[in-house]
Amino acid sequence: MKCYEMFELKFSGPAPEGSRAEADVAAVFRCGDDEKTVKGFYDGDGIYKVRFLPQQTGTYSWKVEGVVQAEGTAECTASDKSHGMVQAVGTHFEYEDGTKYLPFGTTIYALAHQTEDIITQTLESLEKAPFNKVRHCIFPKHYDYNHNDPEFYPFEKDAEGNWDVHHPCLAYWKHFEEIVTRMGEMGIETDLILFHAYDRWGFAFLNMEECRVYLDYVMRRLAAYPYIWWSMANEYDIMFNHTIEDWYEIERIITEEDPYHHLLSNHNCMKLYDFSRPAVTHCCVQTIAMYKADEWQKRFRKPVVFDECCYEGDLQHEWGNISGFEMVNRFWCACAKGAYVTHGETFIDDQDVLWWAKGGKLKGESPKRIAFLKDLMYGLPAYVTPWDEPVWEDFENATEKKTGSMEDNPFFKLMGSLDGENREIIQMKNAQYSGCCGEEVFLKYYARQCARVSSIHLPKDKKYRIEVIDVWDMTRETLIEEASGTTQLQLPGKEGIAVLAVRR
Q: Count of CB atoms within 10 A of residue 288's CB?
A: 17
- Residue window 394-433: x/- pattern of binding to a second copy, with contact defined by CB under 8 A: ----------------xx--xx--x-xxx-xxx-xxxxx-
**Least distance from a second copy to the Cβ atom of residue 288, Å:** 5
Give the nearer residue to a second copy in terms of CB position, either 95 or 412.
Answer: 412
The answer to whether residue 504 forms part of the interface with a second copy (CB under 8 A) is no
Query: Vertex 217, ends 215 and 222: CA angle to 5°?
Result: 95
**Least distance from a second copy to the Cβ atom of residue 453, Å:** 5
Q: Can you tell me the distance from the alpha carbon of 405 to that of 395, in angstroms, rounded to the nearest whole number?
A: 11
**Least distance from a second copy to the Cβ atom of residue 389, Å:** 12
Give the nearer residue to a second copy in terms of CB position, either 15 or 414.
Answer: 414
CA distances from 98 to 87, 101, 183, 236 (A): 9, 9, 21, 32
Q: Binding residue for a second copy (CB under 8 A) from 116, 117, 240, 397?
A: 240
Q: Can you tell me the distance from the alpha carbon of 421 to that of 400, in angstroms, rounded to the nearest whole number?
A: 31
> 382 with 437: CB under 8 angstroms?
yes
Residues 291-350 that bind a second copy (CB under 8 A): 292, 310, 313-316, 318-319, 321-323, 326, 348
The answer to whether residue 269 forms part of the interface with a second copy (CB under 8 A) is yes
Residue 235 CB contacts under 8 Å (≥ 6 apart), including other chains: 196, 197, 267, 268, 269, 286
Q: Which stretch binds a second copy (CB under 8 A): 25-33, 36-44, 206-214, 281-289?
A: 281-289
**Which has the closest alpha carbon to 500: 473, 474, 478?**
478
Main-chain dihedrals φ then ψ at residue 341, nearest 5 degrees: -135, 150
**Least distance from a second copy to the Cβ atom of residue 490, Å:** 10
**Least distance from a second copy to the Cβ atom of residue 429, Å:** 5
Q: Can you tell me the distance from the alpha carbon of 234 to that of 117, in angstroms, rounded to the nearest whole number?
A: 26
Give the nearer residue to a second copy in terms of CB position, either 326 or 440.
Answer: 326
Q: Residues touching a second copy: how many (CB under 8 A)?
A: 50
The answer to whether residue 502 forms part of the interface with a second copy (CB under 8 A) is no
Strand partners, 358: none
- Residue window 347-376: x/- pattern of binding to a second copy, with contact defined by CB under 8 A: -x----------------------------
**Least distance from a second copy to the Cβ atom of residue 15, Å:** 37
Tell me the three-class secondary structure of 264-279, residue by residue: EECCCCCCCCCCCCCC
C-alpha torsion 164→169→172→173, nearest 10: 90
Query: What one-character DSSP code corresponds to residue 14?
Result: P
Q: Binding residue for a second copy (CB under 8 A) from 47, 186, 208, 289?
A: 289
Q: Can you tell me the distance from the alpha carbon of 273 to that of 283, in angstroms, rounded to the nearest whole number?
A: 8
The answer to whether residue 39 forms part of the interface with a second copy (CB under 8 A) is no
The answer to whether residue 244 forms part of the interface with a second copy (CB under 8 A) is no
> What is the number of residues in the chain?
504
Residue 294 CB contacts under 8 Å (≥ 6 apart), including other chains: 337, 338, 339, 386
Strand partners, 286: 308
Give the nearer residue to a second copy in terms of CB position, either 421 or 461.
Answer: 421
Q: Which stretch binds a second copy (CB under 8 A): 87-95, 233-241, 333-341, 351-359?
A: 233-241
**Least distance from a second copy to the Cβ atom of residue 497, Å:** 10
Residues 453-492 that bind a second copy (CB under 8 A): 453-455
The answer to whether residue 495 forms part of the interface with a second copy (CB under 8 A) is yes
One-letter identity of residue 379: G
Axis crossing angle, helix 208-222 with helix 244-257, rounded to the nearest 10: 30
Give the nearer residue to a second copy in terms of CB position, either 21 or 499.
Answer: 499
Q: Can you tell me the distance from the alpha carbon of 66 to that of 41, in angstroms, rounded to the nearest whole number?
A: 11
The answer to whether residue 288 forms part of the interface with a second copy (CB under 8 A) is yes
Segments in 359-491 forming alpha helices (H): 366-378, 392-398, 410-417, 420-430
- Residue window 428-457: x/- pattern of binding to a second copy, with contact defined by CB under 8 A: xxxxx---------------xxxxxxxx--
Q: Binding residue for a second copy (CB under 8 A) from 26, 47, 208, 272?
A: 272
**Least distance from a second copy to the Cβ atom of residue 256, Å:** 29
**Least distance from a second copy to the Cβ atom of residue 418, Å:** 6
Residue 376 CB contacts under 8 Å (≥ 6 apart), including other chains: 469, 476, 500
The answer to whether residue 237 forms part of the interface with a second copy (CB under 8 A) is yes
**Least distance from a second copy to the Cβ atom of residue 430, Å:** 7
Residues 40-99 that bind a second copy (CB under 8 A): none
Q: Can you tell me the distance from the alpha carbon of 180 to that of 174, in angstroms, rounded to the nearest whole number?
A: 10
**Which has the closest alpha carbon to 210: 153, 176, 164?**
164
Q: Given the rule CB under 8 A, which residues bind a second copy?
A: 237-238, 240, 269-272, 287-289, 292, 310, 313-316, 318-319, 321-323, 326, 348, 410-411, 414-415, 418, 420-422, 424-426, 428-432, 448-455, 493-495
